[in-house]
Chains A and B, each alone.
Chain A
């Protein structure tokens, strides 16, 4: 078997075993489980040389050949970098979760969810087929729902999980519409083929529609303003989740999509306006809101929002250097943000609080964690010699120019980067330096499982910059080439080159340092501003959900008011209207049929029908009416028999019998008064509806009879019923053989209808009779369900 195929499923398989392993080995199960992502990492690292030379690996198996849907993957610079980040950081996160959740009664479940998420995310970035991509995309939403809501006893967790699911899951549906647009426009449903169809897509009249739909998916997943609110709320999840999902993986899925489609959808005015605008707004909103926070995780969460904004802005800016900057920043961000989240988790775990104002002087107790923190903060701040510095230099190379648009974007980037520097140091420095503050728990260094991750990631931030040649050759250049759609070579190194970019960097750092020392005042000012505004998208989400619930209540109350007469009248009025409408629209009214020549016993049967009807209408008492209804039913069955349809007649007899029996039983149970007390007006209305339905059905049937009969099916079944299915009763052969699967569905419906009626009958006695207009009459004709 192809190992890549196995790599797709390995995390899910590991997820199944995780709870059992934890039961056996306790928190040390993490060591065993981490082997899976580590092996996946090694497997994908094997593709590096190929991809570095501009190669693109595709593969897969046929999935649903009749729809031309394949289980196919695409490994190029972009997806490979993502796959390595997911499996690499995933390995560290599994280990970290082993330490962080040590002794937690649900640790097995947690590791199971994390591994499932890993599988979903990895599938997402490696999928070539749209459909696989979409399935994995929604799977990340579902698994992240499980992870965010992990502490499901807390109301806030449940709300955050629901919010994330509604926003990202809803976005996924929008995305599906966008992908279907792309599929229809180009006729291909795989990214590897789509990449060559950029011109076709851009010239299509549906380009804008497809763009907006795709971005709807990407922006919800990657928390772009004003849909960013779910991401900070998702910090309710345990820290390993934040470090994994909300730094390196899930939230980058939207960025991945934008980057993946850049060669197809990019280079248009719409693309280069929408992306920088939303990205820039997200960058500023994210950083300003981050300043407001005092919780370490929330500070990091808002800078994640900001970083995602920066990435979207750069991808849409349109220059090659900007794309290179985006690629470098994406890798840098995954490394430092993953590390910083784990640092925040360590501080929380060891000191007992994440509130930055209640922390200080932890350096002596937690030197290793501090080391990882400060190295990552340097990278986040864009200081040399870290990969964050390379990213920031490249970004300024990419966006700085003299036209007003570039100046505007550059100004946004400078403010955003300066504030990120502030937050980076606030997270990495404030808790550790300064006077020792009394913390809820007496702090000491975190265990190996918990500092291995941040230290390794921080070291990578340094290594990638020091050996930038290798880093560019294997990671960033192939990735940038895949995003741009043309081969690019990134050359930036830690040796600063004098020029505009360096100047802008220095301006950013200076601004950041100034703001850092005014952080307390800045925080107060932001808090005051937000208080003055008083409303945010987060509140808006609650209002939206409340509104939705209220609307559904109003709708339900008006449509499902529990009054049987209303349902019956509405159903039959609509039926009559629809039948007449069909004849009216087609302008086909039946001709007056010739007067039939019937034999005497046929006349007698018709007379019985008429007598039955008169009896129904004139009946003084309900039971008599029901039984009289049976009279005309039986007479119709006799007509069927006379006309040569024994099967139909047979069924009609039984259905009629059971209808009368069940209707009579239901009526007696309802304890209605034996007589009917309708007002005259009501009687006339009901009579009119009944007559309208009868006339409409008669007309339709006459019209059908007057249309020339197509004998194709009849001939087919006459010919093949015995030779293929060995039965002479065509009706039965169709039911059990030719259309057996249909019948199977129908008997399923019969059974479910039976269950539902049984349930309704069981409910009634518990309610006090006569209160609330509860719908107490079950549909009394279950037999009609399966009638062919």
Chain B
């Protein structure tokens, strides 16, 4: 798997895929996409990087243990629901704000936070499995 071409292109491919996964995540509410699929894309990106350049560069690159990322995602998912309690509506009711940044109106919502949580959970869980498997491949 460690061909020169693959190793040379993998970092760029990974970066592009990660960027794309975020794009897919953010547009998910209106167009095909969303946290789940975004997380899958990001996980594949990291898997590619791992296969091409080894596991430890990936671990260094993501800094945190993938399971911790997954756990943080679950935390975000739970937190996203709590906002609604302050608004006096049932748990996990979606809330929206429309701030204008540089003349562009943004639609931000608690469901977006929730979707980011889904993204991180999927990314973390699958990456930790893939990395563990790749690691063992070499010993």
Contact = CB atoms under 8 A, between A and B. Distances in A.
Given A651-B40, A751-B74, A665 B133 contact: yes
A740 B115 CA distance: 10
A728 B122 CA distance: 23
Given A732-B33, A743-B118, A747-B77, 16 more contacts: A647-B32, A650-B33, A651-B40, A655-B40, A658-B40, A662-B133, A665-B133, A736-B34, A737-B111, A747-B74, A747-B118, A750-B70, A751-B121, A754-B125, A754-B129, A757-B129
Residue of B73, B81, B132, B133 contacting most chain A CB atoms (<10 Å): B133
Please classify the interface of chain B as helix (H, G, I), strand (E, B), loop, or mixed, using the class held by over half of its residues.
helix
Contacts of B11: none
Given A737-B111, A741-B92, A754-B128, A748 B74 contact: yes
A733 interface: yes
Contact of B28 (A732, A750, A788): A732
A727 interface: yes
Interface in A650-696: 650-651, 654-655, 657-658, 661-662, 665-666, 668-669
Contacts of B128: 754, 758
24 contacts: A650-B33, A654-B41, A661-B130, A662-B126, A662-B129, A662-B133, A728-B30, A729-B31, A729-B33, A736-B35, A736-B94, A740-B80, A744-B81, A747-B77, A747-B117, A750-B121, A751-B71, A758-B129, A761-B129, A761-B132, A761-B133, A762-B132, A778-B129, A782-B129
Interface of B: 24, 28-37, 40-41, 43-44, 47, 51, 67, 70-71, 73-74, 77-78, 80-81, 91-92, 94, 96, 107, 109, 111, 114-115, 117-118, 121-122, 124-126, 128-130, 132-134, 136-137
Contact of A651 (B37, B91, B96, B132): B37
User: 5 closest pairs, A vs B, by CB?
Assistant: A754-B125, A654-B40, A665-B133, A727-B29, A732-B34
Contacts of A783: 40, 126
Contacts of B134: 665
A604 interface: no
Given A658-B44, A744-B81, A753 B29 contact: no
Contact of A657 (B29, B30, B44, B67): B44
A755 interface: yes
Contacts of B78: 744
B121 A747 contact: yes
B84 to A, nearest CB: 10
B30 A727 contact: yes
A729 B121 CA distance: 21
B95 to A, nearest CB: 11
Contacts of A736: 29, 34-35, 94, 111, 114-115, 118
A782 to B, nearest CB: 6
Interface residues of A, number: 46
A672 B115 CA distance: 40
Contacts of A540: none
Contacts of B109: 726
Q: Which of B31, B78, B96, B124 has the most chain A CB atoms inside 10 A of its CB? A: B31
B137 A662 contact: no
Given A658-B43, A725-B111, A726-B107, A747 B34 contact: no
A744 B77 contact: yes
A729 B40 contact: no
Interface in A580-600: none
A367 interface: no
A465 B37 CA distance: 79
A480 B107 CA distance: 69
Nearest to B120: A747
A731 interface: yes
A547 interface: no
A646 interface: yes
A682 to B, nearest CB: 27
B111 A658 contact: no
Interface string A57-70: 00000000000000
Nearest to B36: A786
Contacts of B114: 736, 740, 743-744
A735 interface: yes
A783 B42 CA distance: 13
Nearest to B21: A654
A88 B80 CA distance: 49
B17 to A, nearest CB: 10
A786 B70 CA distance: 14
B28 A729 contact: yes
B96 A650 contact: no
- Among A736, A741, A743, A755, the most chain B Cβ lie within 10 Å of the Cβ of A736
A666 B133 contact: yes
B14 to A, nearest CB: 14
Contact of B137 (A665, A731, A751, A762): A665
A753 B74 CA distance: 13
A343 to B, nearest CB: 55
A661 B34 contact: no
Contacts of A651: 36-37, 40
A171 to B, nearest CB: 36
Contacts of B91: 741
A668 B133 CA distance: 9
Contacts of A755: 67, 125
A744 B92 contact: yes
Given A736-B118, A750-B122, A650 B94 contact: no
B113 to A, nearest CB: 9
A230 to B, nearest CB: 42
Contacts of A731: 34
Given A744-B81, A751-B71, A729 B126 contact: no
B137 to A, nearest CB: 6
Contact of B47 (A658, A725, A741): A658
Given A665-B130, A748-B74, A732 B29 contact: yes
Given A729-B32, A732-B29, A740-B111, A751 B70 contact: yes
Contacts of A668: 137
Given A658-B40, A736-B115, A786 B30 contact: no
Interface in A703-734: 725-729, 731-733
Contact of B44 (A661, A754, A761, A786): A661
Nearest to A654: B40
Contacts of A765: 136
Given A669-B133, A737-B94, A650 B122 contact: no
A736 B91 CA distance: 13
A152 B30 CA distance: 60
Identify the interface centre among A651, A662, A732, A757: most chain B CB within 10 Å of its CB: A732
Contacts of B41: 654
Nearest to A665: B133
B136 A669 contact: yes
B132 A758 contact: yes
A648 to B, nearest CB: 9
Nearest to A668: B137
Nearest to B70: A751
A788 B115 CA distance: 15
A735 B133 CA distance: 30
Interface string A264-284: 000000000000000000000
A432 B78 CA distance: 66
A729 B132 contact: no
A740 B128 CA distance: 25
Given A669-B137, A732-B28, A654 B44 contact: yes
Contacts of A740: 80-81, 92, 94, 111, 114
